[in-house]
Amino acid sequence: MTVQSETIHQLTIPTPFLVGPVHVYLICSDTLTLVDTGPLTLEGKASLISQLDILGYKLEDIEQVILTHHHPDHVGLAGLFKSAVLIGHRYLRPWLRKEDQFFKRYKSFFEEFYHAHGFSQSNIEKVSKSSQAYMSFIEKTDLDVIVSHGDEVPGLKGWRVLEVPGHAQNHIMIVRTKDHTAIGADVLLGSISSNALLEAPMDGGQERPKTLIQYRKSLQLVQDLNLQLLMPGHGEIIMNVNDLIDQRLEGHLTRANVIKNLLGNKRLSANEISYQLFKEKHLKQPDLTFSETLGHLDLLVEQSDLIVTEIEGIYLYHKIE
């Protein structure tokens, strides 16, 4: 994909995750820039090196790496780029550094939070082990440059940074303003709806982020850009950006209505609702299914369709009586 002297190459890297392969992007411009890296696996590393080689580049030729968010399929191999400048959101730093205090606080928050929403201790331990295993696909490193919403992308004239939280608190995308082209990572995918994943508060004393509500605002922000083309982290390149965003926003309301009808006149915990919604899938992937369920419950509460009552330390969702 070429605009005047700037060329963008899509590289597709295998991952061990259910989402399948991930796309990273090489921008050949004034500064040779890689957007995302793929996961820390031998197969992922070999694939990245091979595809760069086909284009005539080595790892050490990459001058800067823009990291869109902390998920391992996107940042796992960032530590390979010893001579490159690593660029990302301020909230990405503790994930890349693998800060012990950060992870201890994160684990403590979730143990209490999951218990309060009806999880059994065995399920809490299962989610904790899964999270630890997931982070093993990231090589420890650090950011060199912090970027924020509206910043010009260092080394890429005409590109801007947008903060698009929801799928991750540290999610950014970059937009080339002259032709309304974007590299969006997981902010919008063509074949599946991005999960607004539950996260702990990044700063002490804050409330947890309402991630689906955040994500819907991020989608509306992207829609206002009137993008002509969006290069995603997974799946096909997206041309009908605004139409797809309309579908995703409507899909959230549809799923929320399903949950509302499923709840009926009962009082249930988020964990019970998630099981009713996903059945066996919830038992296999309780963290992912719970995130999706809780996001839609947040939406229903915001719309005044449901309220939450704490009974003996457990939060129960029900209709307004």
Tell me: the pLDDT tens digits for 116-152?
999 989 889 988 888 888 899 999 999 999 999 999 9
93 and 209 fall within a common domain: yes
Question: Does a structural domain hold residue 314?
Answer: yes
Average pLDDT, the chain: 95
| Confidence (pLDDT) at 210 | 97
15 and 68 fall within a common domain: yes
Question: Does a structural domain hold residue 170?
Answer: yes
Show which of 208, 239, 270 is a domain's final residue.
239
20 and 82 fall within a common domain: yes
For the chain, residues with pLDDT lower than 70 are 1-4, 205
Question: Does a structural domain hold residue 76?
Answer: yes
156 and 285 fall within a common domain: no
Q: How far apart are CA 158 and CA 270, in angstroms?
A: 44
Question: Does a structural domain hold residue 244?
Answer: no
91 and 108 fall within a common domain: no
Please give the residue range of the domain that contains residue 158. Answer: 2-97+138-239
| Confidence (pLDDT) at 10 | 98
Q: How far apart are CA 300 and CA 159, in angstroms?
A: 37
Show which of 239, 265, 284 is a domain's final residue.
239
167 and 219 fall within a common domain: yes
DSSP secondary-structure letter at 238?
Answer: B
118 and 212 fall within a common domain: no
| Confidence (pLDDT) at 2 | 54
Helices and strands (DSSP H and E) totals, the chain: 10, 13
118 and 143 fall within a common domain: no
145 and 222 fall within a common domain: yes
Q: How many domains does the chain have?
A: 2
Question: Does a structural domain hold residue 20?
Answer: yes
DSSP secondary-structure letter at 90?
Answer: G
CATH number at residue 14: 3.60.15.10
DSSP secondary-structure letter at 153?
Answer: P
185 and 275 fall within a common domain: no
Question: Does a structural domain hold residue 68?
Answer: yes
CA dihedral 9, 191, 47, 42 (to 10 degrees): 150
252 exposed, middle or buried (CB, 10 Å; 0-12, 13-18, 19+)? buried
122 exposed, middle or buried (CB, 10 Å; 0-12, 13-18, 19+)? exposed
Pick the closest to residue 171 from 186, 153, 183, 160 (CA basis). 186
Using an 8 Å Cβ cutoff, are 167 and 69 in contact? yes
- What's the full length of the chain, in residues? 321
Question: Does a structural domain hold residue 193?
Answer: yes
124 and 270 fall within a common domain: yes
Show which of 197, 217, 239 is a domain's final residue.
239
Question: Does a structural domain hold residue 127?
Answer: yes
Q: Specify the pTM.
A: 0.95
80 and 186 fall within a common domain: yes
